[in-house]
């Protein structure tokens, strides 16, 4: 590899989006194709792993061809590397992307980068804001994870807080399901909330004044009780009140984490970061504090392959390629700095191994 114009093909198949993208030099998105399987899973109210794996098998080759085509490429000749998500995620889905990426890297004689999906989300903001001043406090809120991280630069992460139970996106999905608003829950709640009163119900703000960890299992139960006690309540009011409670907690903890870690800015990542109420509230609070906010575009918050190509480019430049005998890791954790500031893992295998949070 490499250099600032090196073209990396990224592949993302960890959950229910089949995605491929071409990114130059880690920041310049030449193409980003996301084929959502939402319609296939909606009838079941959530992602069905077997269906996801099979759909990735069918969709990935055309999605990769589309990404190459939109970037003006017809094959691998002008690419510098192939990157793919190796975890965390659904094993059957991950293996489809990892196998395709390895096959392409062998066929085209290109280095392979196995990328941590969570680290990919952290790179999404860099695509739109390459000049970030470090460190930044990043709130990573997705369907499976809620992490508050001090990012000292690419590859340098300290954990500030995390959820003790459900992820923020999971709470959106469960409440939407209970209200019958459909799957995926986040966009459905956001749409309903737009016509509701966020003050209609005083849902609990768990651990609001207490530390940097989160808890979202109680609010789901509170919503169920509130709706049973007030059967005439509108979905819009319940959705707006629920969203407000979650946003209040997310913003309070992110700001607290930023202040306690000496952050020079704030950042959002992950699917829930597409939520306009969260984006607006965090921006307003940060403005009052005089801290810049780096928001990825909404398309870069939810799962996509451009963030994987960006993280893969950085990894290849600074860590090196991933051996082709490395596998997929459904429970992969974010690689964290050791207490002495040493980067987690000495090489690509360690980086794709199972580092522990604590």
Residues at the site binding ligand KG4, with contacts judged by CB under 6 A: 15, 142-144, 169, 172-173, 184-187, 190, 270-272, 274-275, 302-303
Least distance (Å) between residue 301 CB and Zn ion:
9
Give the torsion through C-alpha atoms of 330, 24, 35, 145, to 10 deg: 40
CA distances 17 to 40, 124, 152, 153, 245, Å, are 11, 16, 29, 27, 28
Among positions 234-293, residues that touch Zn ion (CB under 5 A) are none
Nearer to Zn ion, 129 or 145 (CB): 145
Q: Cα separation of 72 and 75, whole Å?
A: 10
Pick out residues in 120-149 that bind Zn ion (CB under 5 A): 142
Selected from 12, 100, 166, 303, the binder of Zn ion by CB under 5 A is 303
CB of 338 to ligand KG4, least distance (A): 26
Nearer to ligand KG4, 13 or 275 (CB): 275
Residues β-bridged to residue 159: 149
Cβ closer to ligand KG4: 73 or 308?
Answer: 308
Q: Is the Cβ–Cβ distance between 10 and 309 less than 8 Å?
A: yes
Of 24 and 293, CB closest to ligand KG4: 293
Interface with Zn ion, residue 16, by CB under 5 A: no
Q: Cα–Cα distances in Å, from 87 out to 134, 147, 206, 352?
A: 26, 16, 29, 8
Stretch that binds Zn ion, among 147-155, 229-237, 295-303, 334-342 (CB under 5 A): 295-303
Asked if 282 contacts 274 with a C-beta cutoff of 8 angstroms, the reply is no
Phi, psi of 112 (to 5 degrees): -110, 140
Could you tell me the smallest distance in angstroms from the CB atom of residue 270 to Zn ion? 6
Shorter beta-carbon distance to ligand KG4: residue 93 or 105? 93
Q: How many CA atoms lie within 13 A of 44 on its CB side?
A: 12
From CA 308, how far away is CA 114, in angstroms rounded? 9
Check if the beta carbon of residue 242 is closer than 8 Å to that of residue 189.
Answer: yes
Name the minimum Å distance from CB 122 to ligand KG4. 12
Based on CB atoms, which residue is closest to Zn ion, 19 or 255?
19
What is the nearest approach in angstroms of ligand KG4 to the Cβ of residue 253? Answer: 16
Query: How many DSSP H helices and E strands does the chain contain?
Result: 12, 10
**Beta carbon of residue 223, minimum distance to ligand KG4 (angstroms, whole number):** 15
Q: Residues in the site for Zn ion, rule: CB under 5 A?
A: 142, 303
């Amino acid at each position: 590899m490499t250099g600032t114009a090196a073209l990396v093909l990224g592949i993302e198949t960890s959950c229910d989006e089949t995605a491929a993208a071409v990114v130059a030099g880690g920041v310049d998105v030449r193409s980003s194709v996301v084929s959502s399987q939402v319609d296939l899973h909606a009838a079941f109210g959530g992602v069905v792993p077997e269906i996801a794996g099979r759909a990735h098998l069918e969709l990935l080759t055309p999605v990769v061809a589309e990404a190459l085509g939109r970037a003006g490429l017809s094959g691998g000749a002008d690419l510098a590397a192939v990157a793919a998500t190796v975890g965390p995620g659904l094993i059957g889905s991950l293996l489809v992307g990892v196998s395709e990426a390895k096959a392409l890297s062998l066929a085209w004689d290109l280095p392979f980068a196995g990328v941590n999906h969570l680290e990919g989300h952290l790179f999404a903001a860099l695509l739109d804001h390459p000049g970030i001043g470090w460190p930044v406090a990043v709130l990573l809120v997705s369907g499976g994870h809620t992490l508050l991280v001090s990012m000292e630069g690419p590859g340098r992460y300290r954990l500030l807080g995390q959820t003790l139970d459900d992820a923020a996106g999971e709470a959106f999905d469960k409440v939407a399901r209970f209200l019958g608003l459909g799957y995926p829950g986040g966009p459905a709640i956001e749409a309903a909330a737009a016509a509701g009163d966020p003050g209609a119900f005083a849902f609990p703000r768990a651990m609001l004044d207490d530390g940097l960890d989160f808890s979202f299992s109680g609010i789901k139960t509170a919503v169920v009780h509130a709706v049973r006690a007030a059967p005439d309540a509108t979905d819009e009011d319940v959705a707006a009140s629920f969203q407000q409670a979650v946003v209040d907690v997310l913003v309070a903890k992110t700001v607290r984490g930023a202040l306690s870690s000496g952050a020079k800015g704030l950042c959002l990542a992950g699917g829930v970061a597409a939520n306009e109420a969260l984006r607006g509230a965090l921006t307003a609070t940060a403005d009052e504090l005089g801290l810049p906010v780096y928001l990825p575009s909404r398309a870069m918050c939810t799962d996509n392959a451009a963030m994987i190509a960006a993280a893969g480019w950085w990894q290849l430049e600074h860590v090196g390629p991933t051996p082709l005998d490395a596998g997929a890791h459904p429970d992969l954790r974010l690689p964290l700095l050791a207490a002495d500031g040493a980067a987690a893992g000495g090489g690509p295998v360690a980086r794709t191994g199972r580092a522990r949070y604590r």
